[in-house]
Amino acid sequence: MKSPGVQLFFLLFLTPIASVTVHAFTGTYGINYGRLANNIPSPVEVVTLLKGAKIRNVRIYDADPSVLKAFSGTGLEIVVGLPNGNLQDMSANADHAMNWVRDNVSAYLPDTRIRGIAVGNEVLGSNDEFSGFLLGAVKNLYNALNKLKLSNIVQVTTAHSQAVFDNSFPPSSCVFRDNVVQNMKPLLEFFSQIGSPFCLNAYPFLAYMSDPENIDINYALFLPTDGANDPKTKLHYDNLLDAQIDAAYAALEDAGYKKMEIIVTETGWASLGDENEAAATIENARTYNYNLRKRLAMMKGTPLRPKNVLKVYVFAMFNENLKPGPTSERNFGLFKPNGSISYDIGFHGLKSSSADSLLLSLKDYRGRGGWRGCGSVIITMATAFLLVLSR
């Protein structure tokens, strides 16, 4: 695939907390840096990758010291994670929450730009054993930040999966499931008070895989399609991700939080899967992630919230070979374990891929004046190769 000819311009978005603001997300594009693997580059090498790709916003799922130290002085902005297994302790003991914030956040500021704490992941609707501890943990961590005078620097959030919703199509009909409302409502109320966004993990890949007979794969991949119409709002959707986000906005409005912003904290497409995961291919993964970058570069909102510029953390940085579950779970990475690109969406890896090598060799050949004579043959071969990549 040809490198996208679109320069990604970054804007600074401010999220209000009381009378101050948190600089929680710069621009529109971020990435999840998961590390359930034993063969991926070191955190120092990851910094090189991120800077080369001009990706500034990063989420991790813990607060690993080696990562936080490697990010020091880099200008990269990071959201650390509190694992689900820590929620009960953080909820029950404010002193433990204070110690956690001191050890994992304030100890690294300001050199490491920690901009958020993700409290748990996909707790409501998916991990019921932890759901009763989520709000208490959120409050204790926020109060610890506030006492340390860091609540104007570090934002507190939690990410939700599609499991919290009911009736997600058409988007305007979406509401929160009855079994999550009891915990969701007070959480939304607190986030509304402190100015935190609603964080959504949205995967058109999973939606398509669950219903391939009724969902057009082009609709899921941002490709030309008839799209879908919402009969209530009269809005038209030309891609599934926008529809998923607006369904979440509709659920928030139904719950009384129309003004709350949504940030997509995970989205991606697997490049390899099991026999029953036919959509998990390199071609589809490349198409989704390439078109997602183009979509974000437009700096626009969704049909329902056109003024809320979409902000997304793509999943994920690497293929993670130790993740459990189906093969697709281990193949969402934009980069291979050796640091080379998994497929070309405009980034460059630590090591050259075959596509990079061909393009570099052609540029070098041209620089030596070698286009005469056999130039037309080389151009034809290069064009054919790039057409194959862009399919």
CA distances (Å), origin 38, targets 35, 46, 257, 343, 349: 8, 14, 42, 21, 19
**Contact residues for 280 (Cβ-Cβ < 8 A; gap 6+):** 205, 269, 270, 271, 272, 273, 274, 327, 328, 331
Length of the chain as a residue count = 391
Site of tokens 């969406």: 345
Distance CA 155, CA 148 (A): 13
Instruction: Summarize the chain as % helix, strand, coil (round to 5).
Output: 40, 15, 45
Query: Among all chains, which residue has been given the structure tokens 């800077």?
Result: 51
Q: Establish whether 320 is a catalytic residue.
A: no
Residue among 122, 129, 189, 261 flagged as catalytic? 122
Of 336, 296, 299, residue with least CA distance to 313: 296
For 36-66, b where at least 16 C-beta lie within 10 A, e where not — what string?
Answer: ebeebbebeebbbbbeebebbbbbbbbbbee
Residue 335 is given by DSSP the state B
C-alpha span between 387 and 391 (Å, rounded): 6
Q: Does 77 participate in catalysis according to the annotation?
A: no
The rounded distance, in Å, linking the Cα atoms of 237 and 248 is: 14
End-to-end CA distance of the chain: 7
Q: Residues 77, 261, 266, 320: which is the catalytic one?
A: 266
Q: DSSP readout, 364-377? A: HHHHTTTTTTTHHH
Give the rounded distance of the alpha carbon of 249 from its chain centre: 18
Pairing of strands 29-32, 155-160: unpaired
Whether the CB-CB separation of 263 and 199 falls below 8 Å is answered with: yes
What are the catalytic residues?
A: 122, 266
